[in-house]
Amino acid sequence: MLKNVAVVLLDGVHPFEFGVVCEVFGVDRSEQGLPVYDFAVVAAERSPVQVYGGFTIDTPYRLDRLAEADLIAIPAGCNLPEQETYPADLLLALRDAVERGARVLSVCSGAFVLGAAGLLDGRACTTHWRHTDALARRFPLARIEPDVLYVDEDPVITSAGTAAGIDACLHLVRKEQGSAVASAIARRMVVPPHREGGQAQYVDRPVPSRTQCDTVGEVLGWMERHLDREVTVEELAERAHMSPRTFARKFQQETGTTPYRWLLGQRVLLARELLEGTDDTVDAIAARAGFGNAATLRHHFGRWVGTTPQAYRRTFRVPAG
């Protein structure tokens, strides 16, 4: 269930990371038939809250508001990685929330607050790459994953810096309310609805969008439109007017992965969307997504998503009508 969302502000909160949570969960999109969340901005200590950048935010909500939240989000703050202590009543409220079945989500350095509450102990988690070493030293029982953009260890979700918070929030919407809702919100935000996935338990590692790729963006667009085709690096390099070696290097620099892995991730994503939104057979989906046959789809789907296509469909199928 995802209906009631609270975002907690400590002094020094970063406005962008705070705004990410507001944009995904705090905007009324009911005219599009999308869910409307009961959304509240909560001051962890006093109000107005001092915001990094030289302004303040005033809010009537205090920590007692967290008792009714399905999701509590902690955005980044300029002081959080070095801060030695955090409000004890906030840490207690976070622990109580998880114990009663709510989720908590951190953006960037907000993970330090979750760690102080003991919610990262024994769990995989992440934060901005600048802070992963500090997070590991501060919370040695946490399993830090420095190379991912977010980690879903339900009910604790942690994300890396800045825009990774968008991906984590949309991932949660997609998980709870389906790809149609997440995609509609993403369209309003003009961001990709979902990025490359690569780990079990529906943990996704996003990659840059085409607009962020200066030299290979057009090729990425072509690849997305032809996922069912077998292509080689040589063919892609020719389309980009580069040598294969130069193309492979540029692709890695701009997307953070190889052409093969990027293509495989997009094919898995398409297969997920078809499993969620169509009645196509697994064989038909394998052909449309470029896997050729159901056995190959099952192999790669299991490695990337951590389950079988049929099990995934049973969990995430969007009901007709």
Give the pLDDT of residue 194.
Answer: 59
pLDDT-derived band at 198, boundaries 50, 70, 90: very low
C-alpha angle with apex 268: 267 to 270, nearest 5 degrees? 65
Say if residue 286's pLDDT is above 90: yes
Give the pLDDT of residue 209.
Answer: 43
Same fold, 210-257 and 261-316: yes
Give the pLDDT of residue 190.
Answer: 76
- In sequence order, which residues have a C-beta less than 8 Å from that of residue 202 and are 6 or more positions away? 152, 171, 175, 305, 306
Strands, E, within 67-107: which ranges? Answer: 71-74, 103-107
The Cα–Cα gap between 145 and 136 comes to 10
pLDDT-derived band at 1, boundaries 50, 70, 90: confident
What is the fold of 261-316?
Arc Repressor Mutant, subunit A (1.10.10)
> Mapping DSSP to helix (H, G, I), strand (E, B) and coil, where does residue 292 land?
coil
Say if residue 204's pLDDT is above 50: no
* In contact, 143 and 122? CB cutoff 8 Å: yes
The Cα–Cα gap between 175 and 184 comes to 14
Residue at token pair 């080689």 = 232
pLDDT-derived band at 187, boundaries 50, 70, 90: confident
Say if residue 207's pLDDT is above 60: no
Q: Which residue has the higher pLDDT, 59 or 277?
A: 59
Q: Residue ranges of the domains in the chain?
A: 4-202, 210-257, 261-316
How confident is the model over 227-268, as pLDDT tens digits? 989 899 999 999 999 999 999 998 888 777 889 988 998 899
pLDDT-derived band at 200, boundaries 50, 70, 90: very low
The Cα–Cα gap between 15 and 76 comes to 9
Give the pLDDT of residue 193.
Answer: 63
pLDDT-derived band at 318, boundaries 50, 70, 90: low
Mean pLDDT, range 180-196, rounded to an integer: 76
pLDDT-derived band at 196, boundaries 50, 70, 90: very low
Give the pLDDT of residue 319.
Answer: 59
Taking domain 4-202, whether its CATH number is 3.20.20.70 is answered by no
- In sequence order, which residues have a C-beta less than 8 Å from that of residue 140 and are 6 or more positions away? none
Tally Cβ neighbours within 10 Å of residue 228: 14
Say if residue 49's pLDDT is above 90: yes
Mean pLDDT, range 176-197, rounded to an integer: 76
How confident is the model over 125-183, as pLDDT tens digits? 999 988 999 999 999 999 998 878 899 999 999 998 878 899 899 999 988 998 889 88
Give the pLDDT of residue 192.
Answer: 66
CATH number for the domain whose boundaries are 210-257: 1.10.10.60
Among 199, 194, 190, CA closest to 182: 194
